[in-house]
Chains A and B, each alone.
Chain A
Amino acid sequence: MTMGMTGNATARRVAADTAATDRAAADVGAADTAAADMASANPAAVLPEPFAGWFAGQGWAPRPHQLALVEKAEAGLSSLLIAPTGAGKTLAGFLPSLIEIAHENRRRNAPVREGPHTLYISPLKALAVDIARNLERPIAEMGLSITHETRTGDTPQNRRRRQKEVPPDILLTTAEQIALLVCQPDAARYFSELKVVIVDELHALVTSKRGDLLSLGLARLRRHAPGLRTVGLSATVADPDDLRGWLVPQALLDPDALPDLGAPVRVDDHRGVPRRRAEAPPSGLSELIVVEGGAKPDLSILKTEARVPWSGHMTRWAVPDVYALIKAHRTTLVFVNTRSQAETLFYELWRINDETLPIALHHGSLEREQRRKVEAAMGRNALRAVVCTSTLDLGIDWGDVDLVVHVGAPKGASRLAQRIGRANHRMDEPSKAVLVPSNRFEVMECQAALDANYHGRQDTPAIKDGALDVLAQHVLGMAVADPFDALDLFEEIRSAYPYRTLDWETFERVVDYGATGGYALRAYDRYAKIRRRKKDGLWSITHPNVAKQYRLNVSTIVELASLPVRLVSRRGGTLTRRGPVLGQLEEYFLATLAPGDTFLFAGQVLKLEQVLQNEVLVTKTAQTEPKIPYYGGSKFPLTTYLAAGVRQMLADPAHREALPEQVREWLDLQAVRSRLPRTDELLVETFPRGKRHYLVAYPFEGRLAHQTLGMLLTRRLERAGAKPMGFVASDYALAIWALEDLSVFYDDAPNTMADLFAEDMLGDDLDEWLADSMLMKRTFRAVAQIAHLVERRHPGQEKTGRQITISTDLVYDVLRSHEPDHILMRATWADAATGLLDIRRLGEMLARVRAHIVHVRLPRISPLAVPIMLEIGRESVQGEGSEMLLAEAADELIREAME
């Protein structure tokens, strides 16, 4: 089906290419019709020729924020530019560099520069390439003698070499490439002429490990280029100061915070002596330039005759409505939250696609080639709709998207704003978006997101402490670059915003980890990768191979263990081995499949035939209902901000007015039958149903936190003798069931519901559970790779993702039993606490509701409980008691055998 669609798209190529070029130019040039509103004085005073003339020649006037950036640059200041899409952000970022380089190059005597003047860093390879293309036009039209090149993981060796020998004025690259460049032996010379670093999509970068890696790279670049200026380009965020801090060195190391190292071996005195960083602004913040958003988006929740279901995530009920929307618009981007939703929606749309509109699919598991085809078709305006996941949240602009449909709740106000921004990339025209909730809780969540958007509220996450696995990688890289003084490097690292509170003891352990693995049992001293030299006290690598291995493994992107899916056919009972690769299937989903099972992938129902030599062989099947409906993909928990909005709707009738009638009726009935919790309350209901007793809690803290809570509560109930049988968690609620009434254990003194939800469950219960947690092992796997404990690539051999999974699980077990405080265990813990386990949020919730737990005992199920109760059986129980499961399975088999 996907293939057929692309065929169509190719046929429609025609003259659309010219339109795309025009558009690209407009995005860089940012045609501004509202030039008369310009706040700044005479632009000619700011812009020299040929720039002023070029703007005039285009019939444009430079925008105030573009001029402001030029002024800040002239004053040598770093700046954060916050602007909505379509504001000419990219040109604004480059303009000061273009002016400066043009000026410099006119006066330059030497024909070849030592290294680039400006680095542009993008979170996506494709974006770097796209921006490079867009830069060409202004440079050519103004006749500037400015060179620019891209360098990504895909850049061939000979071009990289040329970039070293004849460096371009502007190098467009990625965070990983910076990490590689700063550990080259000639880095000091190469970056000696560096003046500017532009970081695009900064808001997205800083919350990832790539952001941590880049912050460390920046700290090193500042050493080579002391006056270095940074420019951050960002969408609107909740706290701009976080980003402003990230862009500049964090100043003034408190001398008292430095360790007393006794009498260190130190040859040159200037090293390691605490000193004020001259370039650090005293405020610790960059300049801030904010462009207020243009037109308010035209945002609505789908109005429908259909009944909004109680539960479920597949939104099948709204497919005809979504199809009607696609038909009524030129080009529609249909965003969903998970890959399985994308697959399902795409499949359902094509079922009713009577007019065979070109509708495509785009998500992270699909073959890269296939994704590129869809993107290209989109750029040519050859598609009417693309069903996509977060893979299209960022990145290049496309054709004339005039509608964004968001199927399923957006989970965050800022996420929604970002996605809406993908429509209509012209600042002063309103973007149009329709939200399609999957179920009734999501109706409330969509309404909360709508309100947030109207008020311009943001809920982007704060920048976390820098990851220790990334730090470990970086420290090794710094030894590869040049022998380092520990104190000196510590100071440099603390100038990076995410690591500004790093303590010496942790740093020392990271260095120790880089040297010998950092184990208490000092077994590996003779195999040390880096060692402190006797002659000058500097840490240096012990063998050139260490550098080679390091360069092979620099990255923070850890691929999930996955296998390629190959579509083959069956001839006379035997499988052919030839056929196209459709994409990658995660190993943990594959593990739940048996040969013969059918599942939805790349828009088709496929049958698993065989896993052979690290490939999944599948065939097409005539079946229309896949047996296994779900396969992995990211699920974002709803943000604290939206959760608060939903809580408010429950608590206050005034906040419910905007909701559709069927949802209001549902909530009113809840108020009569049970209770609608106040905003500060945690409502807990218990009731019997069938032969079971249920306990349902409504914390609204997102699915990950609820899963962790469910795990901990069931442990506690088990200890109390309540024999819980299972639980299920959604973004909003949590249900636990048992054969006996769970509330009798927590009705009165000495035990109350408050005891059941007491915070100390985050102590021993959590500890014990973590011992055997698959989620921890999965987290550890990524940490072990980033910190180079397990290398993906070893000179001469490449490990597959499969093998790594096996060995890191065992390493985790060994490490946990012997050295749970190991630096990588701490890194794993920190990741899990904010990631898969969301312990931080759970902890905050438990503290908040401490004295406000309201237990309602009911004779039967409450209206509010219906959605979560419907999830039971649909979702697999996330039990982690694997030993118990094993025993059950074995006993069952034994029973079968006996009967």
Chain B
Amino acid sequence: MDTPFGMAAMSAFSIPGPRLPRTVRRPAAVTTRARLAGMDAVLDPTGALFWPAESLLVVSDLHLETGSSYARTGQMLPPYDTSLTLAALAAAVERHRPARILSLGDTFHDPFGAERLTPEARDLIGAMMRRAAFIFVTGNHEKDGAAALGGRVADAVTIGGTTFRHIPSAVVPDTPEVAGHLHPAARIAVKGRSLKRRCFIGCDRRLVMPAMGCLTGGLPVTDPAFTALWPAGPDPRPAVHLIGRERVFSLGAT
């Protein structure tokens, strides 16, 4: 097509409008190591965490089938979120080749999400299940909706001395704890521009995982929900690890 894209789409009624973005070759993902919640962890830019010592990949708040969940109430959000989120998960699995995959709750956006999965999505999950054992921690959104997929379902699990549960405990836990639920995101101001990204926030005692779902919004880490987890005092301050497109940026203690 000779007409430049910009000019061709000038009229609201002209067809074709905007076209598919060119596939841009992306640089390889850069992971970051951090000591968090009793783990020597590898933080992946998809929002996944890999714990080499246990060959465990942890992901949280996939919120699969968010689009269709809204569609049921008349807000027709794009039906592509599940495949995008699963593609991110698959990329992390490919990179780290874990023996176990732990989904830390809210795997689905609502209790009936599993029933709405497309056959393609089911196949993709099936393929991953054949490569690694799945553990589904139950979240507040889905009840035990993920049970339909097979794999182990539990309210909380302890692996290598670290406890994994969906909602962070209100008091500072005695043993290291990894949780999700809060969808942490951080805002930083750079050169007069403010950027907001999902993030890991944690210290050696506890960690809150970012949400992996691509339609899942974030709660600023300045929210009281987070300050309550790390009350002022002698305890270690949490560090924020910001998720960029291909890299995790560690921004130090808050």
A843 touches B6 (CB 8 A): yes
With a cutoff of 8 Å between Cβ atoms, the chain B residues found around residue A591 in the complex are 187, 189, 194, 196
A592 partner, pick from B67, B84, B192, beta carbons under 8 A: B192
- Given contact pairs A591-B187, A763-B5, A843-B10, A829 touches B17 in the complex (Cβ within 8 A): yes
Contact across chains for B118 and A807 when beta carbons are under 8 A apart: no
The answer to whether B77 and A762 touch across the interface, beta carbons within 8 angstroms, is no
CB of B214 within 8 Å of the partner chain: yes
Contact of A762 with B75 at beta-carbon distance under 8 Å, contacts A592-B189, A820-B19, A886-B249 already known: no
Alpha-carbon distance A817/B15, docked complex (angstroms): 19
CB pair B74 A521 closer than 8 Å: no
The answer to whether A814 and B247 touch across the interface, beta carbons within 8 angstroms, is no
Minimum CB distance partner of A628 in chain B: B192
Please give, as numbers and ranges, the residues of chain A lying within 8 Å of B11 by CB-CB distance: 465, 501, 830
A811 surroundings in chain B (CB, below 8 A): 77-78, 215
Indicate if A588 sits at the interface (CB-CB under 8 A).
yes
Contact digits for B209-223, partner A, Cβ 8 Å, 1 yes 0 no: 000001111100010
CB distance from A117 to the nearest CB of B (A): 35
> Quick check: is A324 within 8 A (CB to CB) of the other chain?
no
Choice from B12, B16, B22, B244 contacting A883 with Cβ under 8 Å: B244
Taking a contact as CB atoms under 8 Å apart, the answer to whether A789 and B250 are in contact is no
Contacting residues of chain A (824-841) with chain B, CB-CB under 8 angstroms: 825-827, 829-830, 833, 839-840
Known contacts A821-B17, A821-B19, A886-B242; is A524 also within 8 Å of B10 by CB? no
* Interfacial chain B residues near A505, Cβ < 8 Å: 15
Cα A268 to Cα B249 in complex, Å, equals 66
| B53 CB–A CB distance under 8 Å | no
Contacting residues, chain A, for B188 (C-beta < 8 A): 886, 889
Residue of B nearest to A886 (CB): B244
B9, B18, B187, B216 interface centre (most CB from chain A within 10 Å)? B18
Which residues of B58-117 have CB atoms within 8 Å of chain A's CB atoms?
67-68, 71-81, 84
> Does B20 belong to the interface (CB within 8 Å)?
yes
Closest Cβ–Cβ distance, residue B26 to chain A (whole Å): 11
From A519, A886, A893, residue with most partner B Cβ within 10 Å: A886
Interface readout for A785-823 with B: 1 if CB under 8 Å, 0 if not?
A: 000111100100000000100110011011111111110
Contact across chains for A465 and B12 when beta carbons are under 8 A apart: yes
Chain A residues within an 8 Å CB radius of B233? none
Quick one: CB contact mask for A487-510 with B, threshold 8 Å, 1 for yes? 000000000000001110110000
Question: How far does the alpha carbon of A839 sit from the alpha carbon of B6 in the complex, in Å?
Answer: 7
CB distance from B211 to the nearest CB of A (A): 10
- Among A92-100, A250-258, A330-338, A765-773, the one that faces the other chain is A765-773
Number of residues in B with C-beta < 8 Å to the partner?
59
Closest to B242 in A: A886
Taking each of A549, A829, A877, which has the highest tally of chain B beta carbons within 10 Å of its own beta carbon? A829
Complexed CA–CA distance, A829 and B19 (Å): 11
CA distance A825 to B67 in the complex (A): 17
Interchain CB contact (< 8 A) of B21 among A517, A816, A883: A816
Known: A768-B22, A806-B217. A830 touches B78 (CB 8 A): no
Judged by a CB distance under 8 angstroms, whether A516 is at the interface is yes
- A545: chain B residues at CB < 8 Å are 74
Bitwise interface map of A from 872 to 886 toward B, beta carbon under 8 Å scored 1, else 0: 000011010011011
Q: Is the CB of B80 within 8 A of A818?
A: yes
| Minimal beta-carbon separation of B193 from chain A (angstroms) | 6
Q: Which of B68, B77, B195 contacts A886 (CB 8 A)?
A: B195
- Least Cβ–Cβ distance between B90 and chain A, in angstroms: 16
| Interface of A (DSSP majority class) | helix
Cβ contact within 8 Å between A521 and B79: yes
Question: Are the CB atoms of A819 and B78 closer together than 8 Å?
Answer: yes
Please name all residues of chain A whose beta carbon is closer than 8 Å to the beta carbon of B190 when the two chains form the complex: 885-886, 888-889
Determine the distance from Cα of A397 to Cα of B185 in the docked complex, in whole angstroms.
49
Chain B residue at smallest Cβ distance from A833: B10
CB distance from B71 to the nearest CB of A (A): 5
Indicate if A146 sits at the interface (CB-CB under 8 A).
Answer: no
- Residue A897 at the B interface, CB < 8 A? yes
In the bound assembly, the distance between CA atoms of A887 and B146 in angstroms comes to: 37
Whether B249 lies near A890 (C-beta < 8 A) is yes
Question: Is A467 located at the chain interface by the 8 A CB criterion?
Answer: yes
**Are B74 and A549 in contact, with the CB atoms below 8 A?**
yes
Q: Evaluate contact between B75 and A789: CB separation under 8 angstroms.
A: yes
CB of A167 closer than 8 Å to a CB of B = no
In this assembly, does B171 line the interface, its C-beta being within 8 Å of a C-beta of chain A? no
| Interchain CB contact under 8 A, A588 and B194 | yes
Which of B24, B194, B216 has its CB near the most chain A CB atoms (within 10 A)?
B194
Checking B4, B16, B246 against A763 with a beta-carbon cut-off of 8 angstroms, the contacting residue is B4
State whether A503 touches B13 (Cβ < 8 A): yes
Which one, A771, A790, A829, contacts B9 given CB within 8 A? A829
If A591-B189, A877-B191, A897-B252 touch, whether A468 touches B84 (CB-CB below 8 Å) is no
Report whether B22 and A810 are in contact in the complex, using a CB–CB cutoff of 8 Å: no
Pair A821/B76 contact, Cβ less than 8 Å: no
Interface string of A441-472 (1 = CB under 8 A from B): 00000000000000000000000111110000
Cross-chain contact A767 with B5 (CB below 8 angstroms)? yes
A830 touches B9 (CB 8 A): yes
Known: A503-B15, A763-B6. A879 touches B191 (CB 8 A): yes
- Nearest CB to that of B215 among chain A residues? A810
Task: Determine how close the nearest CB of chain A comes to the CB of B124; give it in whole angstroms.
Answer: 15
**Nearest chain B CB to A507 CB, angstrom units:** 9
Interface residues of A in 381-399 (CB under 8 A from B): none
Residues of B within 8 A of A652 (CB): none
Find the A residue at minimum CB distance from B79: A523
Check: A594 CB closer than 8 A to any chain B CB.
yes
Point out the residues of chain B lying under 8 angstroms from A789, CB to CB. 75-77
Contact partner, B68, options A524, A767, A882, A897, Cβ 8 Å: A524
Query: Which 5 residue pairs of A and B lie closest in terms of their CB atoms, listed nearest first?
Result: A517-B76, A876-B192, A762-B6, A826-B17, A591-B194
A-B CB contact pairs (8 Å), 29 listed: A464-B12, A465-B12, A516-B71, A517-B76, A517-B79, A518-B76, A519-B76, A524-B79, A527-B74, A529-B74, A591-B187, A594-B189, A762-B7, A763-B6, A766-B5, A766-B6, A767-B18, A767-B19, A789-B75, A819-B80, A821-B17, A821-B20, A830-B12, A833-B9, A839-B10, A876-B191, A879-B193, A883-B245, A885-B191
List the interface of chain A (C-beta within 8 A of B): 464-468, 501-503, 505-506, 513, 516-519, 521, 523-524, 527, 529, 545-546, 549, 588, 591-592, 594, 611, 759-760, 762-764, 766-768, 770-771, 788-791, 794, 803, 806-807, 810-811, 813-822, 825-827, 829-830, 833, 839-840, 843, 876-877, 879, 882-883, 885-890, 893, 897
> Knowing that A513-B76, A763-B4, A767-B18 are A-B contacts, what are 7 other residue pairs whose CB atoms are under 8 Å apart, sorted by A's residue number?
A524-B71, A529-B76, A810-B214, A811-B215, A885-B193, A887-B244, A897-B252
